[in-house]
Amino acid sequence: MQISRFPRLHFAHLPTPLEPLENLSKLLGGPKLFIKRDDCTGLATGGNKTRKLEFLLGEAQQKNADTIITQGATQSNHVRQTVAISAKLGLRCEVLLEHRTGSDDPDYLENGNVLLDRLFGANIHSVPAGTDMDAAMQEMADDISKNGGKPYIIPGGGSNPTGALGYVNCAMELVGQLNDRSLKIDHLVTATGSAGTQSGLVAGLEGTRSGIPVLGICVSADKETQEEKVFALAEKTAEFLGIPGSIKREAVVANGDYVGPGYGLPTDGMIEAIELLAREEGILLDPVYSGKGMAGLIDLVRKGEFRKDENIVFLHTGGSAGLFAYRKTFTA
Ligand SMILES: *Cc1c(COP(=O)(O)O)cnc(C)c1O
Protein backbone atom coordinates (compact mmCIF):
# COMPACT_ATOMS: atom_id res chain seq x y z
CA MET A 1 0.00 0.00 0.00
CA GLN A 2 1.86 3.03 -1.25
CA ILE A 3 -0.20 5.93 -0.04
CA SER A 4 2.42 8.38 -1.26
CA ARG A 5 0.86 8.17 -4.70
CA PHE A 6 -2.15 10.15 -3.46
CA PRO A 7 -2.04 13.95 -3.34
CA ARG A 8 -1.35 15.13 0.18
CA LEU A 9 -0.31 18.25 2.04
CA HIS A 10 1.91 17.95 5.12
CA PHE A 11 0.78 20.01 8.07
CA ALA A 12 0.05 17.45 10.80
CA HIS A 13 2.52 17.00 13.64
CA LEU A 14 3.46 13.38 13.05
CA PRO A 15 4.10 10.83 14.34
CA THR A 16 1.81 11.44 17.31
CA PRO A 17 3.10 10.08 20.63
CA LEU A 18 2.18 6.62 21.92
CA GLU A 19 2.18 6.77 25.71
CA PRO A 20 1.40 4.39 28.58
CA LEU A 21 -1.56 5.28 30.83
CA GLU A 22 0.19 4.05 33.96
CA ASN A 23 -2.04 5.60 36.60
CA LEU A 24 -5.30 4.64 34.93
CA SER A 25 -4.08 1.08 34.28
CA LYS A 26 -3.13 0.74 37.95
CA LEU A 27 -6.42 2.23 39.15
CA LEU A 28 -8.51 -0.13 37.02
CA GLY A 29 -6.27 -3.09 37.87
CA GLY A 30 -6.88 -4.43 34.41
CA PRO A 31 -4.93 -4.69 31.16
CA LYS A 32 -2.08 -2.35 30.33
CA LEU A 33 -3.55 0.74 28.67
CA PHE A 34 -1.75 2.97 26.21
CA ILE A 35 -2.91 6.11 24.45
CA LYS A 36 -2.14 7.20 20.89
CA ARG A 37 -2.16 10.98 21.06
CA ASP A 38 -4.03 12.08 17.94
CA ASP A 39 -5.25 14.98 20.04
CA CYS A 40 -1.73 16.30 19.36
CA THR A 41 -1.90 16.45 15.55
CA GLY A 42 -1.25 20.16 15.72
CA LEU A 43 -3.98 21.90 13.73
CA ALA A 44 -6.06 24.38 15.75
CA THR A 45 -5.85 22.37 19.02
CA GLY A 46 -5.50 19.08 17.13
CA GLY A 47 -7.69 16.04 16.63
CA ASN A 48 -8.36 13.25 14.20
CA LYS A 49 -9.58 15.43 11.33
CA THR A 50 -6.05 16.76 10.72
CA ARG A 51 -4.88 13.47 9.19
CA LYS A 52 -7.92 13.29 6.92
CA LEU A 53 -7.56 16.92 5.87
CA GLU A 54 -3.98 16.35 4.68
CA PHE A 55 -5.37 14.13 1.92
CA LEU A 56 -8.62 16.06 1.36
CA LEU A 57 -6.88 19.43 0.96
CA GLY A 58 -4.24 17.75 -1.20
CA GLU A 59 -7.03 16.67 -3.54
CA ALA A 60 -8.75 20.09 -3.33
CA GLN A 61 -5.50 21.80 -4.31
CA GLN A 62 -4.94 19.36 -7.16
CA LYS A 63 -8.39 20.30 -8.44
CA ASN A 64 -7.61 24.03 -8.12
CA ALA A 65 -10.44 24.62 -5.67
CA ASP A 66 -10.78 28.13 -4.27
CA THR A 67 -13.64 27.45 -1.86
CA ILE A 68 -14.04 24.66 0.69
CA ILE A 69 -17.56 23.66 1.72
CA THR A 70 -18.19 21.35 4.65
CA GLN A 71 -20.73 20.64 7.37
CA GLY A 72 -21.10 19.34 10.91
CA ALA A 73 -23.02 19.66 14.16
CA THR A 74 -22.82 23.02 15.94
CA GLN A 75 -19.79 21.93 18.01
CA SER A 76 -18.11 20.06 15.15
CA ASN A 77 -14.38 19.52 15.60
CA HIS A 78 -14.15 18.64 11.93
CA VAL A 79 -15.51 22.05 10.96
CA ARG A 80 -13.10 23.84 13.33
CA GLN A 81 -10.10 22.08 11.82
CA THR A 82 -11.31 22.52 8.22
CA VAL A 83 -11.83 26.24 8.76
CA ALA A 84 -8.33 26.56 10.23
CA ILE A 85 -6.50 24.86 7.37
CA SER A 86 -8.58 26.76 4.82
CA ALA A 87 -7.48 30.00 6.48
CA LYS A 88 -3.83 28.96 6.26
CA LEU A 89 -4.13 27.99 2.61
CA GLY A 90 -5.98 31.18 1.69
CA LEU A 91 -9.16 29.34 0.69
CA ARG A 92 -12.65 30.65 1.27
CA CYS A 93 -14.55 28.34 3.64
CA GLU A 94 -18.33 27.95 3.84
CA VAL A 95 -19.66 25.81 6.66
CA LEU A 96 -23.10 24.50 7.46
CA LEU A 97 -23.71 23.91 11.16
CA GLU A 98 -26.63 21.64 12.03
CA HIS A 99 -28.32 22.33 15.35
CA ARG A 100 -28.35 18.59 16.04
CA THR A 101 -28.50 18.44 19.86
CA GLY A 102 -31.24 21.06 20.33
CA SER A 103 -29.27 22.67 23.19
CA ASP A 104 -29.98 26.36 23.74
CA ASP A 105 -27.13 26.81 26.23
CA PRO A 106 -25.20 29.93 25.12
CA ASP A 107 -21.91 28.08 25.80
CA TYR A 108 -22.99 25.36 23.37
CA LEU A 109 -24.12 27.84 20.73
CA GLU A 110 -21.19 30.26 20.84
CA ASN A 111 -18.24 28.95 22.87
CA GLY A 112 -15.81 26.08 22.22
CA ASN A 113 -15.52 25.14 18.56
CA VAL A 114 -17.93 27.86 17.40
CA LEU A 115 -15.77 30.59 18.94
CA LEU A 116 -12.77 29.13 17.10
CA ASP A 117 -14.68 28.79 13.80
CA ARG A 118 -15.38 32.52 13.94
CA LEU A 119 -11.78 33.31 14.88
CA PHE A 120 -10.54 31.46 11.80
CA GLY A 121 -12.90 33.47 9.62
CA ALA A 122 -15.46 30.86 8.64
CA ASN A 123 -18.66 31.83 6.84
CA ILE A 124 -21.12 30.07 9.11
CA HIS A 125 -24.61 29.06 7.99
CA SER A 126 -26.75 27.62 10.81
CA VAL A 127 -29.46 25.15 9.82
CA PRO A 128 -32.07 23.24 11.85
CA ALA A 129 -31.72 19.60 12.93
CA GLY A 130 -32.77 17.14 10.26
CA THR A 131 -31.64 19.30 7.30
CA ASP A 132 -30.39 17.27 4.32
CA MET A 133 -26.81 18.45 4.76
CA ASP A 134 -25.39 16.84 1.60
CA ALA A 135 -28.11 18.43 -0.53
CA ALA A 136 -27.55 21.79 1.15
CA MET A 137 -23.80 21.60 0.44
CA GLN A 138 -24.42 20.68 -3.19
CA GLU A 139 -26.80 23.60 -3.60
CA MET A 140 -24.17 25.93 -2.20
CA ALA A 141 -21.52 24.44 -4.50
CA ASP A 142 -23.76 24.91 -7.56
CA ASP A 143 -24.25 28.57 -6.63
CA ILE A 144 -20.53 29.13 -6.23
CA SER A 145 -19.79 27.41 -9.56
CA LYS A 146 -22.37 29.56 -11.30
CA ASN A 147 -20.55 32.63 -10.05
CA GLY A 148 -17.22 31.41 -11.38
CA GLY A 149 -15.86 29.88 -8.17
CA LYS A 150 -14.29 26.43 -7.77
CA PRO A 151 -15.91 24.70 -4.81
CA TYR A 152 -14.64 21.50 -3.19
CA ILE A 153 -17.08 19.67 -0.92
CA ILE A 154 -15.76 17.81 2.11
CA PRO A 155 -18.39 15.45 3.53
CA GLY A 156 -19.27 15.53 7.24
CA GLY A 157 -16.33 14.37 9.36
CA GLY A 158 -14.14 14.24 6.25
CA SER A 159 -15.31 10.65 5.92
CA ASN A 160 -14.86 9.39 2.37
CA PRO A 161 -12.09 7.19 0.93
CA THR A 162 -9.78 10.20 0.46
CA GLY A 163 -10.18 11.31 4.08
CA ALA A 164 -9.91 7.74 5.38
CA LEU A 165 -6.41 7.55 3.86
CA GLY A 166 -5.34 9.66 6.84
CA TYR A 167 -6.20 6.73 9.10
CA VAL A 168 -4.65 4.15 6.81
CA ASN A 169 -1.55 6.25 7.35
CA CYS A 170 -2.16 6.28 11.13
CA ALA A 171 -2.46 2.48 11.15
CA MET A 172 0.92 2.17 9.43
CA GLU A 173 2.45 4.73 11.79
CA LEU A 174 1.15 2.84 14.83
CA VAL A 175 2.42 -0.52 13.56
CA GLY A 176 5.85 1.11 13.07
CA GLN A 177 5.86 2.48 16.63
CA LEU A 178 4.89 -0.91 18.04
CA ASN A 179 7.66 -2.62 16.08
CA ASP A 180 10.21 -0.03 17.21
CA ARG A 181 9.54 -0.78 20.87
CA SER A 182 8.72 -4.49 20.52
CA LEU A 183 5.29 -3.86 21.92
CA LYS A 184 2.60 -6.35 20.99
CA ILE A 185 -0.92 -5.01 21.38
CA ASP A 186 -4.15 -6.95 21.55
CA HIS A 187 -6.78 -4.29 20.81
CA LEU A 188 -7.08 -0.80 19.39
CA VAL A 189 -10.09 1.11 20.75
CA THR A 190 -11.50 4.36 19.35
CA ALA A 191 -14.67 6.46 19.27
CA THR A 192 -16.54 6.06 15.97
CA GLY A 193 -18.95 8.56 14.38
CA SER A 194 -18.89 9.46 10.68
CA ALA A 195 -16.73 6.32 10.32
CA GLY A 196 -13.68 7.59 8.42
CA THR A 197 -11.36 6.97 11.34
CA GLN A 198 -12.35 3.37 12.00
CA SER A 199 -12.66 2.58 8.28
CA GLY A 200 -9.16 3.89 7.57
CA LEU A 201 -7.72 2.03 10.57
CA VAL A 202 -9.37 -1.23 9.53
CA ALA A 203 -8.24 -0.83 5.91
CA GLY A 204 -4.68 -0.09 7.07
CA LEU A 205 -4.48 -2.81 9.71
CA GLU A 206 -6.08 -5.44 7.44
CA GLY A 207 -4.07 -4.27 4.44
CA THR A 208 -0.84 -4.77 6.38
CA ARG A 209 -2.20 -7.98 7.95
CA SER A 210 -1.20 -6.62 11.35
CA GLY A 211 -3.48 -8.93 13.33
CA ILE A 212 -4.60 -5.98 15.47
CA PRO A 213 -8.38 -5.89 16.02
CA VAL A 214 -10.13 -2.51 16.18
CA LEU A 215 -13.09 -1.80 18.44
CA GLY A 216 -15.19 1.27 17.69
CA ILE A 217 -17.27 2.79 20.47
CA CYS A 218 -20.33 4.43 18.88
CA VAL A 219 -21.16 8.06 19.64
CA SER A 220 -24.44 8.28 17.73
CA ALA A 221 -25.59 5.09 15.98
CA ASP A 222 -26.41 1.60 17.24
CA LYS A 223 -23.97 -1.28 16.71
CA GLU A 224 -25.56 -2.69 13.51
CA THR A 225 -25.94 0.66 11.75
CA GLN A 226 -22.42 1.73 12.65
CA GLU A 227 -20.80 -1.54 11.60
CA GLU A 228 -22.52 -1.37 8.20
CA LYS A 229 -21.40 2.22 7.75
CA VAL A 230 -17.79 1.46 8.71
CA PHE A 231 -17.67 -1.70 6.60
CA ALA A 232 -19.01 0.09 3.51
CA LEU A 233 -16.44 2.87 3.79
CA ALA A 234 -13.60 0.45 4.64
CA GLU A 235 -14.39 -1.53 1.48
CA LYS A 236 -14.46 1.63 -0.64
CA THR A 237 -11.20 2.75 0.94
CA ALA A 238 -9.54 -0.62 0.20
CA GLU A 239 -10.73 -0.34 -3.39
CA PHE A 240 -9.32 3.19 -3.62
CA LEU A 241 -6.02 1.83 -2.25
CA GLY A 242 -5.91 -0.86 -4.92
CA ILE A 243 -6.58 -3.77 -2.56
CA PRO A 244 -10.28 -4.45 -3.25
CA GLY A 245 -11.99 -7.24 -1.36
CA SER A 246 -9.37 -7.27 1.41
CA ILE A 247 -11.69 -6.30 4.27
CA LYS A 248 -13.39 -9.12 6.15
CA ARG A 249 -16.79 -8.22 7.59
CA GLU A 250 -15.67 -9.65 10.95
CA ALA A 251 -12.86 -7.08 11.09
CA VAL A 252 -15.47 -4.37 11.63
CA VAL A 253 -16.65 -4.34 15.24
CA ALA A 254 -18.56 -1.57 16.98
CA ASN A 255 -20.18 -1.29 20.39
CA GLY A 256 -23.32 0.85 20.70
CA ASP A 257 -23.78 0.64 24.46
CA TYR A 258 -22.26 4.01 25.36
CA VAL A 259 -24.18 6.51 23.21
CA GLY A 260 -26.63 7.35 26.01
CA PRO A 261 -29.58 9.57 25.02
CA GLY A 262 -27.97 10.59 21.72
CA TYR A 263 -25.25 12.35 19.80
CA GLY A 264 -23.61 15.11 21.82
CA LEU A 265 -25.78 14.47 24.88
CA PRO A 266 -23.89 13.84 28.13
CA THR A 267 -23.78 10.49 29.96
CA ASP A 268 -22.54 9.75 33.50
CA GLY A 269 -19.88 7.44 32.04
CA MET A 270 -18.58 10.22 29.78
CA ILE A 271 -18.34 12.65 32.70
CA GLU A 272 -16.54 10.07 34.83
CA ALA A 273 -14.11 9.21 32.02
CA ILE A 274 -13.24 12.87 31.41
CA GLU A 275 -12.69 13.48 35.12
CA LEU A 276 -10.61 10.31 35.54
CA LEU A 277 -8.30 11.07 32.62
CA ALA A 278 -7.90 14.66 33.81
CA ARG A 279 -7.12 13.73 37.41
CA GLU A 280 -5.10 10.53 36.85
CA GLU A 281 -3.24 11.37 33.65
CA GLY A 282 -3.49 15.13 33.09
CA ILE A 283 -5.14 14.44 29.73
CA LEU A 284 -8.17 16.26 28.30
CA LEU A 285 -10.82 14.21 26.54
CA ASP A 286 -13.97 15.65 24.94
CA PRO A 287 -17.69 15.31 25.79
CA VAL A 288 -18.95 14.10 22.39
CA TYR A 289 -16.42 11.51 21.18
CA SER A 290 -13.31 10.59 23.14
CA GLY A 291 -15.15 10.91 26.48
CA LYS A 292 -17.75 8.36 25.42
CA GLY A 293 -15.11 6.20 23.76
CA MET A 294 -13.06 6.12 26.96
CA ALA A 295 -16.22 5.53 29.03
CA GLY A 296 -16.77 2.42 26.91
CA LEU A 297 -13.21 1.22 27.35
CA ILE A 298 -13.30 1.76 31.13
CA ASP A 299 -16.61 -0.07 31.47
CA LEU A 300 -15.44 -3.02 29.36
CA VAL A 301 -12.27 -3.26 31.48
CA ARG A 302 -14.36 -3.27 34.66
CA LYS A 303 -16.59 -5.99 33.23
CA GLY A 304 -13.51 -8.14 32.62
CA GLU A 305 -13.84 -8.11 28.81
CA PHE A 306 -10.04 -7.97 28.47
CA ARG A 307 -7.39 -10.25 30.02
CA LYS A 308 -5.15 -8.61 32.61
CA ASP A 309 -2.02 -9.41 30.60
CA GLU A 310 -3.32 -7.75 27.44
CA ASN A 311 -2.06 -4.48 25.98
CA ILE A 312 -4.69 -2.06 24.73
CA VAL A 313 -4.23 1.17 22.81
CA PHE A 314 -6.90 3.88 23.01
CA LEU A 315 -6.79 6.26 20.06
CA HIS A 316 -7.33 9.76 21.44
CA THR A 317 -9.15 11.52 18.60
CA GLY A 318 -9.04 15.00 20.19
CA GLY A 319 -11.94 17.40 20.65
CA SER A 320 -11.04 19.09 23.95
CA ALA A 321 -12.08 22.50 22.55
CA GLY A 322 -15.63 21.17 22.88
CA LEU A 323 -15.28 21.09 26.68
CA PHE A 324 -15.90 24.83 26.82
CA ALA A 325 -19.31 24.31 25.22
CA TYR A 326 -20.25 21.92 28.05
CA ARG A 327 -19.27 24.09 31.05
CA LYS A 328 -22.51 23.37 32.89
CA THR A 329 -22.04 19.60 32.52
CA PHE A 330 -18.88 19.82 34.60
CA THR A 331 -19.71 22.59 37.07
CA ALA A 332 -23.30 21.76 37.97
C1 LIG B 1 -14.94 13.33 14.36
C2 LIG B 1 -14.43 12.86 15.66
C3 LIG B 1 -14.42 11.48 16.00
C4 LIG B 1 -15.04 10.43 15.14
O5 LIG B 1 -14.29 10.14 14.00
P6 LIG B 1 -15.08 9.62 12.71
O7 LIG B 1 -14.03 9.49 11.69
O8 LIG B 1 -16.08 10.69 12.39
O9 LIG B 1 -15.74 8.35 13.05
C10 LIG B 1 -13.86 11.11 17.20
N11 LIG B 1 -13.37 12.02 18.05
C12 LIG B 1 -13.38 13.34 17.77
C13 LIG B 1 -12.83 14.26 18.79
C14 LIG B 1 -13.92 13.80 16.57
O15 LIG B 1 -13.93 15.11 16.34
Sheet of 32-37, strands arranged across: 18-20, 32-37, 311-316, 187-192, 214-218, 253-255
Q: What is the pLDDT of residues 152-178, one digit of tens each?
A: 999 999 999 999 999 999 999 999 999
Measuring CA to CA, which residue among 51, 55, 96, 56 is closest to residue 76?
A: 96
**Cis amide bond preceding 15, omega within 30:** yes
Q: Coil, helix or strand for 188? A: strand
For the segment 318-324, the average pLDDT, to the nearest whole number, is 98
* pLDDT band at residue 274 under the 50/70/90 scheme: very high
Question: In whole numbers, what is the pLDDT of the chain averaged over residues?
Answer: 97
How many percent of the chain have pLDDT more than 90?
98
Q: What is the pLDDT of residues 222-272, one digit of tens each?
A: 999 999 999 999 999 999 999 999 999 999 999 999 999 999 999 999 999
- The answer to whether the CB of 9 falls within 8 A of the CB of 58 is yes
What is the rounded distance in angstroms from the CA atom of residue 188 to the CA atom of residue 90? 37
Cα of 190 vs centre of ligand 1, distance in Å, is: 9
What is the rounded distance in angstroms from the CA atom of residue 321 to the CA atom of residue 118? 14
- pLDDT in the model for residue 332: 65
Among 48, 133, 236, 285, the mutation site with the greatest number of ligand 1 atoms within 8 A of its Cβ is: 48
- The answer to whether the CB of 150 falls within 8 A of the CB of 61 is no
H or E, element range at 167:
helix 161-180
Among 41, 190, 197, the mutation site with the greatest number of ligand 1 atoms within 8 A of its Cβ is: 197
Cα of 149 vs centre of ligand 1, distance in Å, is: 30
Task: Give the catalytic positions in this structure.
Answer: 76
Q: What is the pLDDT of residues 115-130, one digit of tens each?
A: 999 999 999 999 999 9
Q: What is the pLDDT of residues 183-233, one digit of tens each?
A: 999 999 999 999 999 999 999 999 999 999 999 999 999 999 999 999 999
Ligand 1 site, CB within 6 A? 47-48, 77-78, 157, 159, 191-198, 286, 289-290, 317-319
Cα of 146 vs centre of ligand 1, distance in Å, is: 33
Computed on alpha carbons and rounded to an integer, the radius of gyration of the chain in Å comes to 19
Atom of ligand 1 nearest to the CA of 197: 7
